[in-house]
Structure 1
Amino acid sequence: MTIMNKTQGLTPRSAFRRTRLARAIHWSSQLLVAGAVGWHGAGFAQEATPAEPEQPTALEEIVVSGQRSSIQSAQMIKQSAEQIVDSIVADDIGKLPDRSVTETLQRIPGVTIDHFMSLGDPEHFSAEGSGVAVRGLTQVRSELNGRDSFTANGGRSLSFEDVPAELMAGVDVYKNPSADMIEGGLGGTVNLRTRMPFDSDGQVMAATASVNYGDFIEEADPSVSALYSNRWDTSAGEFGLLVDVAFSEISTRTDGIFNRPFFPRDDLQGYEGTTIQVPRGADWRSMDFNRERLGSYLATQWRPSDASEFYFQAFRSEYDMQWDEDAIFVQNDAYAIQPGEGKEFVVDDNNVFLSGRLTQPGGIPFGADIRVANRESVTSDFSAGYKWLPGDQLEFSTDLQYTKATTEGLDATIATGINLPYIDIDLRGERPLVQADDEYLSDPGNYYWGFTMPFIEDNEAEQFAWRADVKYNFNDTDVVRYIKTGVRLTDREATNINSGYHWQAIYQPWMAWWKLPDDQMPPVEDASQMSLNTFDNFFRGKAPSPGAVYAPHISLVEGYPESFDQLHADASENYICCDDYMPATMDDPSRINEQEEQTYAAYFLLGFGVDDWALPVDGNIGIRVVQTDSAASGMIRYPETIVVGEDGETESRPWYQDPEDIVAENSYTNVLPNLNLRVELRDDLFLRFAASKAMARPAYNQMQAFQTLSAGRPEGVPEDQYVPPEDFRLTSSSGSNPMLEPMEATQFDISLEWYFNDAGGMAHVNAFSKDIEGFIRNQTIREEHGGWDYTVTRPVNTGTADIRGVELGWSQFFDQLPEPFDGLGMQANYTYIDSSTDVPRDEGSNPVDTDGSEYGQMPFEGLSEHSYNLVGMYEKGPLSVRLAYNWRSDFLMSVGPNGFNGTDRDITWRLPVYNDDYGQMDGSIFYDITDMLSLGLEVNNILNSETRTIMKQNAAGDHYASYFLNDTRYALTLRANF
């Protein structure tokens, strides 16, 4: 997919796929050139993971091969680390045990993912998963080799689904940090590790080729990766070079059925005087998704002597996705619905609708859309550094990094409309049965042009980061083992521009009675501009297809913006209703978010240990201080409302000023102490305690410096009545606040770890707590602008939350069993999390039911109370088998997302939407044909799990809001290692 220019439209899928291998070759050649410059210039060098805590040097000697070795390596990292950490290590060079980094992360205790494109969009499914949370918190710091890594999406962290899993050597999740770790993770820190050439003794070559097949979309896609690494002794010292390139593509299909919110009706024909809870309707959609990832990585090392080392690393990840959706969705007035003649409603004991025929005077308005979205995100990272060991005790390292990320996207929708005579809904079965008049749906003459809606985005972020660290090691017999101190400076700029979802009506039912002739909807004149979607094999046959639908032809959507402009121009030419079309724009200051940020951090860390006590103790204690200076550029627009004087003629605008360009500057300092303590109860039994303070800065999309001020007459005052300026309602509603400060957490961990054998046998229990302050929520406050006081609703730091939980983990291979069962192994972990929040309520963001009633305190978004992983393994001789099941309990996704909010009968309602319990099974089987060649089959979503969301209502009760079914994905893989 190539998004050339925001005005050039969507790229067809054929072009989307053609450009990728050429770009892989081009970027790989650029990496080699950059590596040569960085290698031979050698002005800098590195330590293997400069921002990570100390790792045992023995890890560099591990040759990872097979599941058993992978588990042993992860066990050694956990056992040797000074912090509380869980890891997954590749079971072959450059190969994590899942098809994406996101899917890998969900195997770690305390880590969960969701299966939607975002928590705020419960209508669009994500097959590979997204939304990584650690201990229920989405404020997760993302790192690549211990350094900052991010996606240009208005946030601060990396979208893990953007990163090729094939490039990773391992993933570490730090639950409680030390002072030398970079700040920014409230839930934890996820560090993605790549390999370095000095990790291996000599030449290493590896290659993988896969064919990925989705059984629902019935498409096969390729994946390839290749790695070369070597090291050479020369008269100038030892040199190392590593090059790794990975390309993968996956296609999936998702079908969805939707049940819409219930409304209290006491005016239904035949039910007068009785309040019946009636759904607005039901609808359905089908989405085809294709994503491509291209990753390239190069690393060089130069060790001119035993005392010094230089390095250069270059990493680039490209994520391209395109999805197209066919949908038919209800657009009716919930209070105009009536039972169909002879099709009375069936209700339960609480008078809640169960089944029946919905009708509406003039027909039930539906929209039938074709929606095509594409996004291209690129993250490029260049790092160089130097490590110097002047003696046995002193260590010095410095590291310089430049990161640039861009995201370009276009999400375009065109919808036809149709007013259906009726819709039949039956909610009594496993999932809704939805039926409409097939004959009416399949007649193109019944459709009219409904609306257009483009969304354009163009984001860019870049950062320079420099750090320097000095460590002095004492003798192992001293109580003080080492002292370490360092500084880190960053300078980041981020510009996020988007058009918003620019909905523009062509013809709508509410236009009919006052804008359109004869109160009729103009039919689509050229039927060739539509295509018939028959929804073949809908929901894999588990639900009957509700009916064929005429939607706009995909070529119209791909023709943005010309095709959009033409549809509106035709409507304006034929009917006076439609001459107010405004194309989407990204030039308005309200659409631009410009941020600059500098951070200045310093830390001091002391490592200690006492070996001659009855119970040996070691650990570290330290403090990190970081100052953040931010500046957001934007604008304030003042009210243009006219006040008519008492004489009925004098006019004034007392509040008005010319729009004012502003730069909102903010500065704050965070002091972050920490303690990590480990007690050796036995040679194989460790007790750990950790305490720290963590922080997470607000996302950039929460910090835009743009505000529109409004002046409105008091409610209920006639228009011809004089109102003095001081009695006007001066208000403003802003979704951002450039003066936001970080959320902070005071956190504690206590962990008991038992390493009962060196072959992957381990068990642990970890209890943790987090007391969080500074939640970001909308509040109504008073602000002064231009000499007038305004009532402003905007996000502020307010409220607290307490999170408590327990993690349990166990891993073992059963070598004591008789052959052939001695190859069996098992991994299991379970996480329990309990949360409570104390966040002041605000009328503009609290959940409200359709009858106006409010809800109690909501749980923390994205947090499941229970989650677990079960992994069965078998590894013996040339055979390696893995079967993994992941499950999490229900959790709150969002309050009032699209489709679950609105205003009816003067009630502005926002329903809470939950993700229901969800479990998924994945597996793989590999066979070593030779010592260097293996063949395997990997399967995701073996059980073809169904994802459901729940809308909670007070009077109508809980109902499933949506049902999603997607592919079982297969990958036939050939691996070679030399």
Structure 2
Amino acid sequence: MSMFKPSMLTLALVAAGVSSYSSYAAEEQAQKEDEKAVEVIEVKGFRASVVESINTKRFSTEVVESISAEDIGKLPDSSIAESIARLPGLTAQRLDGRASRVSIRGFGENESATMFNGREQVSISDNRGVEFDLYPSEIMSAVTVYKTPSASLEAEGIAGVINMQTIKPLSVDERALQFNGQVEETSFDKLNPDGNKRGYRGTISYIDKFADDTIGIAFAYTSMSSPNQEKRWNAWGYPEFEAGGKNYSILGGAKPFVRSSTLERDSVMFVLEAAPSDKLSMVFDALYVDFKDEKILRGIEIPFAWGQGQIPAEYATVDDATGFITSAATIGQRVVVRNDYEDRKADLKSFGFNTKYDIDDQWRVEFDASYSKVEREVWSLESYSGTGRGDGRGEADNIAYAFNGSNAGAQFGHNLDYSDYNLIKIGGPLSWGWSSALNEKYGVVGTEYENQLQDGFINAPTVDDELKSLKLAAKKTIESDFVNAVEFGVSYRDREKTKVSEGYFMTVSSFSYPDNPGMLTVPEKYRLGTANLDFIGMGNMIAYDSRQMVADGMFGLLAESLTNPSHATKSWSVSEEVTAAFVQANIDAEVAGFPVKGNAGLRYVRTQQASDGNAFGVVAGKVQLSPTHIEHDYSHLLPSLNLSMTLDDTQTLRFGAAKTISRPRLDEMNASINAKYNLTPDSNGNYWEVEGGNPTLEPKEAIGVDLTYENYFSPEGYFSVAVFNKNLTNWIFDGNYAIDMTGVADPSTGEVPPNSQGTGKGKVNGGGGTLWGYELSLALPFNLFHESLEGFGLIASHTKVKSDIQDHKGDDYQLPGLSDTIQSLTVYYERNGFQARTSMRKRDDFKGEVYGLGFNTDQVDIVGETIWDAQVGYDFSEGGIDSLKGLTVTFQVQNITEEPFTSLSGDNALQVRDYQDYGRTYLLGFSYKY
């Protein structure tokens, strides 16, 4: 077994109090005399977290990136996702102005796994990808991102695994009681009269040890009310047409609005750790999160080419290079004035228990059990108003638009006053979203008001996600020249995720036919004044409390699922039972005189999945359902190898190779299908014709190779160069598949037909290709250049990713989440209590997922962005002001350059799909530690 003697630099790291160096404890003890000769390097605050993160990376067996908090509640960013997105090779997609979905090396969030204290987590989304704004950064002590796996890692993901960690109280030197508080404000004035521009964040935490340091507890409670505001330009689309032998495109319509949202989150974290003897340790942790995201949205939907008005050719301006009509006018147009509200709630509960027991000097056993559950409810309300009910009624407007050549969308001109409550009344001004059941309910079948009764709509999907897991493992120490220990174990995970989709048509309660078929003047008690839409040139519009009107019974509701089969497609339950076994050899050897550490392992994973849903059809205008239950199983052998060669005191060479998998999206695996039974077979000999989910989907697979050179030239500094390659197979695309419909009734007859084989249309496995790239990362303290620069430093990274992937038909395919280049930069100064830093994260264009109609996830082309944040602060303890010892004050500015979120419709940069301007966010905070 190799015995590598620590250098003076290594001993300096130990003196700095770096806990991640604990694996070298024996060697440290042997070098006590050398330690006395080393000048103690003591850094605190942000610099301490940099040192901690560097050493987690340096002494990890796998290829990892890490962020660390000096104290609980003191991660460098206010959002856990923003902190993660600054790591080399990682980036984030913003959702409603907040970093939420994390990509690793060009893969979207569905290709990575997320753990909390080493255990896989549920998610509030429809799929597996975790939205990180659910997790408060205030309760995290560290986050580690595994870019290469080991066999003992209890999660699977082609991109990597993200492990969020809470503090362990027995590792803390002394009792701590800490209070953190922040006030928050957006740079926009209130965009809606009932919105918020100010909010707060607060945390109280307590850490202590008892019984001769054998029992420790950590408790944290955090509460947040965070405002966010947005000016949004959104296009319906850009229809193409031919005229005079040339191809043209024009604005089909637009849906601009202003949004005021408030994210409210209350979280409780509790950790109990016990070590009654040197042989036994136990940790229990619990997390509860109460999450509510409330959005107020007001705007005007403006039909154009897809509207009622006439478009005179003489008012149109054409971009000759693209054929895109950059400005035009429509005469006699009617619009929809929107007063919308959305409420997204989620409750997360997570519990875990871990115990380790050293039987003797050679054997250790471990048992781990966990449970996590999330329940999510969405209530998304749309309320319509205009000048008259249905097509062709009410006063029309003349509207013009002009694109200014940027990505900010178009400016409109208009004639009507949309802030006039006597002109703009509640009711559906356009005939859309009709239902035969709605016509029957109000008795308008065959009348002039048929299909004109949708005055609003409510989307109300729910998601429940539950995960239980058990693990039993053992580790045996071995005296060998190559291997110092062998680990092996088994684990079991049981996960079930259920989604129920529903929607409701809204019709004003005052409507009756033929007595009162008109629209409703907004009652005085619900009027809130106006919302300003000057940013798109539409002036002021009426603002009323639509949610309170629904609560007071001012609208009649009718379930859309009666006649619209889409809700049956989007309602499903998927369960997975994952049984795994692993064996891993921990390597400690010497090759050609160089110490080599690492691990080699094999993981066997067997998955049994099942889905319950509905086979459905539409008979006489009504949806007919028949339950479905489809099962499937598969297994994988996943080998992995991680090697780390220490070239000298500062240089390390790493190699990693592994086979990894990413499980299919849960909504793609559902058993809800539009089903039709034919009396004659198709070309495949099948009688059933179905379209929907595919419960027989199997995971995507990849074989990855990583090679990294690392140079740790200072306790606060290092640079590394990494190259990586992943060979992807068994990806998932649209196609046809075989499906067994045994026991499923024909929706049109209600009877089970004699033939059960079907041809399905949906997602299938196939295709593949290669993804490769490189990463450059640097942490540089400026005191290396001159002692007068003590406290200055920078952290930077650059990642380049390329891919060559084809679908199952051989067509080129771009991975969701892949940006060709990603950069991050943080410049900081911290000394004598003063703290300052500015950070940048930049990514190129990419394909990302956004919520579309009915809360479907749609893939769109998103424009690259560069986001700058800054923070200054002062720690009175470090500044030597004893009367204020323990107090730190900070001031942050997020999104300094007001970088928008922009997506396009196709390759034409003029055809803006979505432009979201969030402005800046200011945070003034304090921390007091007793």
For the aligned pair, the TM-score class normalised by the smaller chain equals: 0.7 to 0.9
The residue that corresponds to 1:940 in the other structure is: 894
Instruction: Letter of the 1:593 partner, please give it.
Output: W
| Pairwise CA distance, 1:92 | 3.3
The residue that corresponds to 1:648 in the other structure is: none
Alignment deviations for residues 6-56 of structure 1 (CA, whole Å, 9 cap, x no partner):
xxxxxxxxxxxxxxxxxxxxxxxxxxxxxxxxxxxxxxxxxxxxxxx9973
Unpaired stretches in structure 2, ≥5 consecutive residues: 1-19, 30-40, 191-196, 388-394, 429-453, 742-752, 878-884
| Contact 1:183 1:696 survives alignment (8 Å) | no
Change in Cα spacing, 1:386 to 1:63, as seen in structure 2 (3 Å) is farther
The residue that corresponds to 2:251 in the other structure is: 279
Aligned partner of 1:166 among 138, 145, 166: 138
**Distance in 1 of aligned mates of 2:740 and 2:608:** 24
Instruction: Letter of the 1:422 partner, please give it.
Output: N
Deviates more, 1:879-888 or 1:436-445: 436-445
Note if 1:967 corresponds to 2:923: no
**Distance in 1 of aligned mates of 2:576 and 2:607:** 7
| Contact 2:681 2:687 survives alignment (8 Å) | no
SS in 2 for 1:391: coil
**Distance in 2 of aligned mates of 1:263 and 1:584:** 29
The residue that corresponds to 1:821 in the other structure is: 789
Note if 1:300 corresponds to 2:272: yes
The within-5 A match list for 1:332-351 is 334=306, 338-340=310-312, 344-350=315-321
Note if 1:880 corresponds to 2:880: no
SS in 1 for 2:554: helix
Change in Cα spacing, 1:629 to 1:283, as seen in structure 2 (3 Å) is closer
Instruction: Letter of the 2:708 partner, please give it.
Output: S
Aligned partner of 1:670 among 636, 643, 649: 636
The within-5 A match list for 1:904-919 is 913-919=860-866
The residue that corresponds to 2:745 in the other structure is: none
| Contact 1:639 1:710 survives alignment (8 Å) | no
Deviates more, 1:480-489 or 1:960-969: 960-969
The residue that corresponds to 1:470 in the other structure is: 474
Note if 1:545 corresponds to 2:537: yes
Instruction: Letter of the 1:456 partner, please give it.
Output: A
| Pairwise CA distance, 1:672 | 0.5
**Distance in 2 of aligned mates of 1:109 and 1:168:** 20
The residue that corresponds to 1:56 in the other structure is: 23
The residue that corresponds to 2:211 in the other structure is: 233
| Contact 2:401 2:411 survives alignment (8 Å) | yes
**Distance in 1 of aligned mates of 2:561 and 2:499:** 22
Aligned partner of 1:71 among 35, 50, 62: 50
Change in Cα spacing, 1:288 to 1:389, as seen in structure 2 (3 Å) is same
Alignment deviations for residues 81-120 of structure 1 (CA, whole Å, 9 cap, x no partner):
100000011143331111111111111111111113xxxx
Note if 1:554 corresponds to 2:545: yes
Note if 1:406 corresponds to 2:375: yes
The residue that corresponds to 1:101 in the other structure is: 80
| Contact 1:799 1:839 survives alignment (8 Å) | yes
With normalisation by structure 1, the TM-score equals 0.78
Alignment deviations for residues 805-860 of structure 1 (CA, whole Å, 9 cap, x no partner):
11110001111455653221010001111112211359xxxxxxxxxxxxx73421
| Contact 1:781 1:792 survives alignment (8 Å) | yes
SS in 1 for 2:258: strand
The residue that corresponds to 1:45 in the other structure is: none
Instruction: Letter of the 1:240 partner, please give it.
Output: G
**Distance in 2 of aligned mates of 1:658 and 1:537:** 44
Alignment deviations for residues 333-380 of structure 1 (CA, whole Å, 9 cap, x no partner):
538764348x521212247244443225xx334222122111221221
The residue that corresponds to 2:532 in the other structure is: 536
Aligned partner of 1:199 among 158, 171, 174: 171
**Distance in 2 of aligned mates of 1:546 and 1:202:** 60
The residue that corresponds to 2:15 in the other structure is: none
| Pairwise CA distance, 1:530 | 7.6
**Distance in 2 of aligned mates of 1:425 and 1:679:** 63
**Distance in 1 of aligned mates of 2:42 and 2:296:** 44
**Distance in 2 of aligned mates of 1:99 and 1:217:** 22
Change in Cα spacing, 1:816 to 1:608, as seen in structure 2 (3 Å) is closer
Question: Identity percentage over the alignment?
Answer: 23
Instruction: Letter of the 1:155 partner, please give it.
Output: N
The residue that corresponds to 2:484 in the other structure is: 481
Change in Cα spacing, 1:868 to 1:433, as seen in structure 2 (3 Å) is same
The within-5 A match list for 1:201-216 is 201-216=173-188
| Contact 1:495 1:595 survives alignment (8 Å) | yes
Q: CA RMSD in A?
A: 3.7
The residue that corresponds to 1:921 in the other structure is: 868
SS in 2 for 1:616: strand
**Distance in 2 of aligned mates of 1:558 and 1:729:** 51
The residue that corresponds to 2:10 in the other structure is: none
The residue that corresponds to 1:700 in the other structure is: 666
Instruction: Letter of the 2:675 partner, please give it.
Output: L
SS in 2 for 1:942: coil
| Contact 1:397 1:468 survives alignment (8 Å) | yes
Change in Cα spacing, 1:737 to 1:917, as seen in structure 2 (3 Å) is same
| Contact 2:531 2:542 survives alignment (8 Å) | no
| Pairwise CA distance, 1:462 | 2.3
The residue that corresponds to 2:464 in the other structure is: 460
With normalisation by structure 2, the TM-score equals 0.82
SS in 1 for 2:371: strand
Deviates more, 1:703-712 or 1:557-566: 557-566
Change in Cα spacing, 1:666 to 1:57, as seen in structure 2 (3 Å) is farther
**Distance in 2 of aligned mates of 1:328 and 1:558:** 20
Instruction: Letter of the 2:94 partner, please give it.
Output: H
**Distance in 1 of aligned mates of 2:77 and 2:565:** 39
| Pairwise CA distance, 1:693 | 0.9
| Contact 1:163 1:293 survives alignment (8 Å) | no
The within-5 A match list for 1:80-159 is 80-116=59-95, 126-137=96-107, 138=109, 139-159=111-131
SS in 1 for 2:56: helix
Note if 1:357 corresponds to 2:328: yes
The residue that corresponds to 2:761 in the other structure is: 793
Instruction: Letter of the 2:532 partner, please give it.
Output: D
Alignment deviations for residues 453-506 of structure 1 (CA, whole Å, 9 cap, x no partner):
21113322322211111111224x62111111111112223322221x556788
Instruction: Letter of the 1:232 partner, please give it.
Output: F
The within-5 A match list for 1:704-783 is 704-710=670-676, 732=689, 734-758=691-715, 760-781=716-737, 783=739
Change in Cα spacing, 1:416 to 1:858, as seen in structure 2 (3 Å) is farther
The residue that corresponds to 2:365 in the other structure is: 396
Change in Cα spacing, 1:699 to 1:346, as seen in structure 2 (3 Å) is closer
| Contact 1:371 1:412 survives alignment (8 Å) | yes
Change in Cα spacing, 1:784 to 1:230, as seen in structure 2 (3 Å) is closer
Alignment deviations for residues 502-525 of structure 1 (CA, whole Å, 9 cap, x no partner):
567889xxxxxxx999xx994545
| Contact 1:54 1:81 survives alignment (8 Å) | no
The residue that corresponds to 1:43 in the other structure is: none
**Distance in 2 of aligned mates of 1:434 and 1:275:** 24
Aligned partner of 1:630 among 609, 614, 621: 609
Alignment deviations for residues 508-545 of structure 1 (CA, whole Å, 9 cap, x no partner):
xxxxxxx999xx9945455659858754385xxxx453
The residue that corresponds to 1:288 in the other structure is: 260
**Distance in 2 of aligned mates of 1:290 and 1:554:** 16
| Pairwise CA distance, 1:428 | 3.3
**Distance in 2 of aligned mates of 1:506 and 1:167:** 46
Change in Cα spacing, 1:94 to 1:658, as seen in structure 2 (3 Å) is closer
SS in 2 for 1:461: strand
Change in Cα spacing, 1:417 to 1:783, as seen in structure 2 (3 Å) is farther
The residue that corresponds to 1:646 in the other structure is: none
Unpaired stretches in structure 1, ≥5 consecutive residues: 1-52, 117-125, 508-514, 569-579, 643-656, 713-722, 843-855, 902-909
| Pairwise CA distance, 1:890 | 0.6
Instruction: Letter of the 1:753 partner, please give it.
Output: E
**Distance in 2 of aligned mates of 1:735 and 1:533:** 45
Instruction: Letter of the 1:289 partner, please give it.
Output: S
**Distance in 2 of aligned mates of 1:616 and 1:726:** 65
The within-5 A match list for 1:801-812 is 801-812=769-780
Deviates more, 1:630-639 or 1:456-465: 630-639
SS in 1 for 2:783: coil
The residue that corresponds to 2:37 in the other structure is: none
